[in-house]
Amino acid sequence: MIAYLSESVCRARFKPAHQDPSFAELLVTNAEQITAAIARRFASGARSIFVLRPTDF
């Protein structure tokens, strides 16, 4: 199973560093939280893959 993590999901879930960040800035400033969320999925035995895709430009 593949779970797509789109730009809109990232913007809703992760707090931006400033008012209007680009998608790349959002990923960089929240890289630790995104990595931790993916690690938790694998640690729990979930059989899914997160794929980042900027769909909301």
pLDDT per residue over 3-54, tens digit each? 556 667 776 777 666 677 777 777 777 777 777 877 777 777 766 666 666 5
- The tally of domains found in the chain comes to 1
Is residue 51 a contact partner of residue 6, using CB atoms and an 8 Å limit?
no
Whether the predicted pLDDT of 57 surpasses 60: no
**pTM more than 0.75:** no
Question: How confident is residue 55, by pLDDT bands cut at 50, 70 and 90?
Answer: low
Q: Who's near 2: CB < 8 A, 6+ residues apart?
A: 48, 49, 50, 51
Q: Which domain holds residue 32?
A: 2-53
Tokens of 38: 């993916």
Question: How confident is residue 56, by pLDDT bands cut at 50, 70 and 90?
Answer: very low
